[in-house]
Chain A
Amino acid sequence: MRTRRHLWLGLFGIVLFTVVFLVPFAFILFTAAKTRTEAGELQFSLPTTWTLLQNFGDALRARDYMLIIAFVNSTILTVASVAILVVLSAMVAYVVQRRQSRWNGLINFLVLSGLIIPPAVVPTVWVLQRLGLFKTLGGLILIEVAFGLSFCILLFRAFIATIPRDLDEAAIIDGAGPARLFFKVIFPLLKSVIVTVVIVQSVAIFNDFANPLYFLPGDENATVQLTVFNFQSQFSTQYNLLFADILLITIPPLLLYLFLNRRIVEGMTAGAVKG
């Protein structure tokens, strides 16, 4: 009786979830595979002829290979920002967690502020301009690092608290200096939380739209999230190419999710609960 009810509930759930959560993705796939006129009808239907690869090609070639350039830019941005974030925030979290001092209150306050306060847009542009970093990938990388630090520090600090101090003391007695102690002893132990940080931040930075829009304007600097507007205009939107583009920029997170599903969910909830 009870199990039968659960079976029906489960089937109902599957149908409901499929309609609500999967149909939009099916729509993206189908439209991305249609010819231009067929896609323009905006119907939810299988394409009469599958032109997916050709549409991918057209989307990648549009506006002098802008999407390819954007993928290169986004990859550099993501890899560099995440690498810097991991090292720097692990170092801060380590010192803050291990050392009791009167600075801790201030640091905690700053970390929380970084999570809550919306960044001031124009003054940031002004700072970047004064430093000669406006409209440069390097400037945007530093911005992403500055905005991502708080979240990463919280994740690392919670994890470092579980590493026994005996380990530090043993290393110190063996004559390790602070840098060796951290990079040779502690840092390798952070592997699992590093994976979490890398995944969560990669997705966030890869999907970031507002910061590149503000701090890295210009076609030659485009990142992937900005390219979708190439195919959208008030009068003639090329829907097949628009959705081919959306599909292309959805593939990296999808792949990550297929392989690391568990890790991502864990990371997101851990980070969220601590924050």
Chain B
Amino acid sequence: MSTEVDARRAVTPAVTAPAPAARRRSPYPFWFCLPAAVIFFVFFVVPTFSSFFFSLTRWDLTSYEFIGLDNFVNFFQEPALVIGLKNTLIYAVVTCGLKVVLGILLAQLLTSQLIARGFLRSVAFFPVLVSTIGVGLTFTVLMDPSNGLINKSLAAIGIQGPAWLVDPRYALLSVALVDVWKGVGLATVIFIAGIVSIPREYFEASAVDGASAFRRFWHIVLPLSKPAVTTVIILSLIGGLRSFDLIWAMTRGGPGFTSDVIASVIYKQYQAGFYGLSTAGNVVLFILVTAIVFPLYRFLTRQEVDL
């Protein structure tokens, strides 16, 4: 009896007995998360939460005055700022829609038996890695209404090109097109990954049944690459709603305020020293993004088909 107790004492409890083992220090300690958690908390969580408070104040970074919802009232009364809200939605929907449609068509093309397939994939993907500012400035020059390459080429085949960035009606859409040019490569490779993962038997079966290329695309490729579609929609929607770099490089929200989006409004108000108003813009953007992306994500993932 006594020897048994001694033996148990001799061995460290952490190794043998199951009861103390539950209390022993886990090999996966939570302090591993600590450094990341501190950085994330200080530089992301704190600013996000304090933005709700500071959006209700007149603020100069050192002192603030509580003014209730005045900033939001301001935001929605100022026509220039309301345009920003509308433009953000248009921009996000247009870029997202075009990236999905063009991306899946390109992916379909680039997964077929095509010469130089690898080369074409590489070419389409490269703009994803290039500086947005560089792309923006390059296209600003290419889209020059009279001297730009795009309008000159259109004129050569007898089409009078629009004034692109200078025309208030087309400025925002022109920027959106450049965004699609830069981002469609990423959508394409995501779709390619989706299409490649579809089991070959489906295509063989449809070939036996004599399905046309279009029906094969519509009834097999599209439904079975749904997770890829979801990913592209969510990613490009988030990107589109938050977009700032490209618009800033190409139009700075102009002509007038016709191509302003919320992100550029936030920057302009920040530069002008209206910190409270700028933060209110941030809160509006926050609400817009979460109100659109979370429900959409739920909706899209619920409909997914299992392979």
Residues of A in contact with B (beta carbons under 8 Å apart): 3, 6-7, 9-11, 13-14, 17-18, 20-25, 27-28, 31, 41-44, 88-89, 91-92, 94-96, 98-99, 103, 107, 110, 114-129, 131, 142-143, 145-147, 149, 153, 168, 172, 178, 181-182, 203, 207, 209-210, 213-214, 224-225, 228, 232, 239, 242-243, 246, 249-250, 253-254, 256-257, 261, 264-265, 268-269, 272-273, 275
Residues of B in contact with A (beta carbons under 8 Å apart): 25-30, 32-33, 35-37, 39-40, 42-48, 50-51, 54, 59, 61, 109, 112-117, 119-135, 137-139, 141-142, 144, 147-149, 152, 181, 186, 189-190, 192-193, 227-228, 231-232, 234-235, 238, 241-242, 244-245, 248-249, 263, 266-267, 270, 275, 278-279, 282-283, 285-286, 289-290, 293-294
B190/A99 in contact, CB under 8 A: no
Distance of A89 Cα from B144 Cα, bound (Å): 45
A-B CB proximity, top 4 nearest: A120-B51, A10-B115, A146-B43, A123-B47
Name the distance in Å between B129's Cβ and chain A's nearest Cβ: 4
A116/B293 in contact, CB under 8 A: yes
Residues of B within 8 A of A27 (CB): 138, 141-142, 149
A143/B43 in contact, CB under 8 A: yes
Q: How many A-B residue pairs have CB under 8 A?
A: 252
Residues of A within 8 A of B193 (CB): 269, 273
Q: Which of A88, A96, A178 contacts B27 (CB 8 A)?
A: A178
Q: Which of A117, A124, A269 contacts B190 (CB 8 A)?
A: A269
Q: Which of B50, B129, B132, B245 contacts A123 (CB 8 A)?
A: B50
B122/A120 in contact, CB under 8 A: no
Name the distance in Å between A263's Cβ and chain B's nearest Cβ: 12
Distance of A3 Cα from B114 Cα, bound (Å): 9
A272/B235 in contact, CB under 8 A: yes
Give 12 A-B pairs besides A92-B37, A96-B33, A265-B189 with Cβ atoms closer than 8 angstroms.
A6-B113, A24-B139, A95-B29, A103-B30, A114-B44, A119-B48, A122-B54, A123-B46, A124-B47, A153-B36, A225-B133, A269-B193
A18/B138 in contact, CB under 8 A: no
Distance of A228 Cα from B37 Cα, bound (Å): 35
B131/A249 in contact, CB under 8 A: yes
Q: Which of A13, A41, A149 contacts B147 (CB 8 A)?
A: A41
With A94-B32, A127-B43, A239-B141: A121-B282 Cβ-Cβ less than 8 Å: yes
